[in-house]
Chain A
Amino acid sequence: MVGATLSRWTMSYFAAALASLIGAEGLMVSGYGFPSAALAAPETLLLVHLVVIGWLSLLMCGALFQFVPVLIARPLYSDALTLPTLVLLLSGLIALLAGFLQLAGTIGPQLPLLPGAAMLLAGGFGLALWTLGRTLWAARPLPLPARFIAVGLASVAATVVFGSVFALVLGGMATEPLMLEVVRIGVPIHVIAGLGGWLTFTAMGVSYRLMAMFMLAPELDGWGSRGVFYAGVLTLAVTILGGCAAIHAGTSLAWVLGLAAPLSLAALILYGRDIRHLYRARKRRLIELNSRMAGAAFANLGAIATLAIVLLALAQFERHIGALVFLFSLGWLSGLGLAKLYKIVAFLTWLECYGPILGKMPTPRVQDLAVERRALPWFILYHAAVWSAGACLFADAPLAFRAAVAAMLVATVGIAAQLVRIRRLADVAMAPSLQSHVSRPSLLFSPAQHA
């Protein structure tokens, strides 16, 4: 019961994450990568990793360093490693992107960039795992949301192992037949462990607690929620362990994915049921923009899952896999990420600025830091643009796709500008009596708050 304080570098994680998203959208607008290039082309890989490592993983790490302590009511094991973790992840990302440029022939092959990237990223994710793992380990037995995160962390470890093998082989440093086999058929495992296990499963766990907290809904840990957990764990275990067995045996992954698909569907259906219950059983009737926009992201997830089933039934799944991954990353994960960022940045900034003087003098409320009516149009534009861009991918209209992504880019910049305004207290009318007690917070850093 010692409580939790602000994680010092969380805002830097968020800033680097948003910069990556904006960068990736800029590249898509310029026609770089998919759909102009093939799905497996180095240009597409660069784009995909800028989104999933630069944007989504940095966002997730920054959020977890702050909110794992909230989930388990214990302090973070150590805040000292969060900055080295960020430096390793960012330098690993840059090396990885440069490595893909080497594969594309854009830059020369002199430096072993891909193996270097693998080392840096394994170091960065390893440090994050160490900090979060130690924090969770001390809190056993874990409440259900934290168990989702533990599984998510195991999944990111698997993702990094597969990614490292790819990097070593593509960087020319590994030529063993088994390693080559991993590269030949292991990509779906890498993708499912990353997007499904690490990003989605972790987001699900965090959403159980955050949605209940922000909407005053009951905490869920009934059979349905445990069903989501076990079906999700089985999906990931079948995919990752079964996938390794298939690679070892030299068989195709078809049976593994055939087993994992119905399990993941069961998890998604139960999760959808839980989320619907959280919204319906909430005590707070009028919900904030972040909860409404998270609702849009949940709806996106349901729509994408339905779309995937329809495409499977029509035997069109493989043809449209690029569009599905696009919608999944930018409609579901990014939609939820942007919605939660809008709340988290306001809350953390409020706590940092006004926490020390709460009760001693009148202070603004958290919601006074954000102007929702100004942010709402950007969120609506973002979601409309994502689905338009997705539709353009299905319709094979690359030029229209770039126009739609341009709208996404504008919306993202609009949301980011709102986040900067929140962080700078730009919309808070501060009473003169407060001004001497509250200094404008740093954009990227929260000072240590020693109890």
Chain B
Amino acid sequence: MTTPSIVDLDVRPILRAGGEPFEKIMQTVNALAPGQGLRLLATFKPSPLLHVLGHSGFSHEAKELDGGEWEVLFTPSAKSDEPVATAAADASRWPAPVRRLDNRDLEPPEPMVRILAAVETMAQGEVLSALLCREPIFLFPELAKRGHRWTGGFEADGVTYKVLVQIGTLGARP
């Protein structure tokens, strides 16, 4: 059996039920074979996702369907000059978060301070989930230095950024 060049994912049922499809989408994306693309069906144009997957080396073609729904075809770019983050991770096999933080109403850099404080109290392998109002880009190098793994992206609302951090599985680096 050959690998199909495009994987289909319809998140409209999840969205209509009021659910949150981001993790499902990222799991599907992370499970794609090299060169494989993704055809996504959603009830709105998933602009933040276009941005996030653009960063991960996917180009996209978005097409509006009847009734305001959208079909977006993500194809891996021929060449991506994105440096590969060793610690930015596929979270599909991570355990459920043991700590949840809502840092959306905090002024920077307080969200980063609270995440690092929480991370220091957690055991290896445990997962922290945090909601933020923007991508915490000064946090990531600090997580990498401390040997943690993370993954993150904008939620379907387009304004909430959710980051998952798994403790210490890379082993602390000097």
Contact = CB atoms under 8 A, between A and B. Distances in A.
26 contacts: A1-B151, A2-B83, A3-B136, A3-B137, A3-B138, A3-B141, A4-B138, A69-B137, A70-B137, A73-B137, A75-B83, A141-B50, A143-B51, A216-B105, A216-B107, A347-B109, A350-B109, A351-B109, A351-B138, A355-B138, A356-B145, A358-B116, A365-B113, A366-B109, A449-B145, A451-B87
A301 B124 CA distance: 53
Contacts of B54: 140-141
Q: How large is the interface on B (under 10, 10 to 19, 20 to 34, 35 or more residues)?
A: 35 or more
Interface of A is mostly: loop
B133 interface: yes
Contact of B118 (A140, A216, A359): A359
Nearest to B136: A3
B74 interface: no
Contacts of A273: none
Contacts of A2: 83, 85, 88, 140-141, 144
B141 A1 contact: no
B155 interface: no
B51 A141 contact: yes
Contacts of A355: 138, 142
B24 interface: no
B117 A284 contact: no
A283 interface: yes
Nearest to A214: B107
A414 interface: no
A451 B140 contact: yes
A218 interface: yes
Interface of A: 1-5, 69-70, 73-75, 138-141, 143, 213-214, 216, 218-219, 283-284, 347, 350-351, 355-356, 358-360, 363, 365-366, 449-451
B97 interface: no
Contact of B55 (A1, A4, A219, A350): A1
A244 B45 CA distance: 41
Given A75-B83, A216-B107, A1 B144 contact: no
B91 to A, nearest CB: 12
B112 interface: yes
Contact of A4 (B110, B115, B137): B137
Nearest 8 A/B pairs, CB to CB = A3-B140, A359-B116, A451-B144, A451-B141, A359-B117, A359-B120, A2-B85, A358-B116
Contacts of B152: 1
B120 A1 contact: no
Given A1-B85, A70-B137, A358 B112 contact: yes
Interface string B59-92: 0000000000000000000000111010110000
Interface string B122-150: 00000000000111111111101100001
A143 B145 CA distance: 28
B108 interface: yes
A359 B113 contact: yes
Given A3-B140, A359-B119, 6 more contacts: A1-B135, A2-B88, A3-B136, A219-B134, A450-B145, A451-B141
